[in-house]
Amino acid sequence: MRKIFLFFALFVAACTFQTKPRGYVFPSDLEAQVATIKNTNQLIDKIGAPQVKTVHGDEVWIYYGANENYRGPLAPTFTDETVLLAWVRGKNVVKTQVLHDKDLPDVKIADGETAIPAAIELNAIEELFNNIGRFSPAGLGQ
């Protein structure tokens, strides 16, 4: 009976529920706040610095926030995904758009890793010998 109780207690302990915010934690009245923003200073004051700025084409500031939900041994899921896009020209905010879960496409993450061209693959022994002499002793300030 004790073994069954111990197994059940461990099983229940592994089934915790936890939610962690990832990225920006947007205010509940995001659309109302974004509607009043006219320049980049206001945008930075109300929302903060963007996570990403586009490099090509129109300058777009991108903000992303979501809740990552953990349910015991199951894979984490994401809810309340929100993306704020702000088109910026100089110091003026030309246009803003808020996208929620239903507006975002479903993106499948590929298994495995992306190969890096011309990457050097070292085994554990090579890594160990490769790092010899690279680090200065603590306290020397070099």
Pairwise CA distance, residues 28 & 7, whole Å: 42
Task: Let me know: does 80 contact 68? Beta carbons within 8 Å.
Answer: no
CA 51 to chain centroid, in Å, comes to: 9
Widest CA span of the chain, in angstroms? Answer: 71
Per-residue pLDDT tens over the stretch 34-89: 999 999 999 999 888 999 999 888 899 999 999 888 877 778 888 888 888 999 99
Overall pTM > 0.75: no
Per-residue pLDDT tens over the stretch 102-125: 888 887 878 887 878 877 888 888
Strand-pairing partners, residue 77, are 69
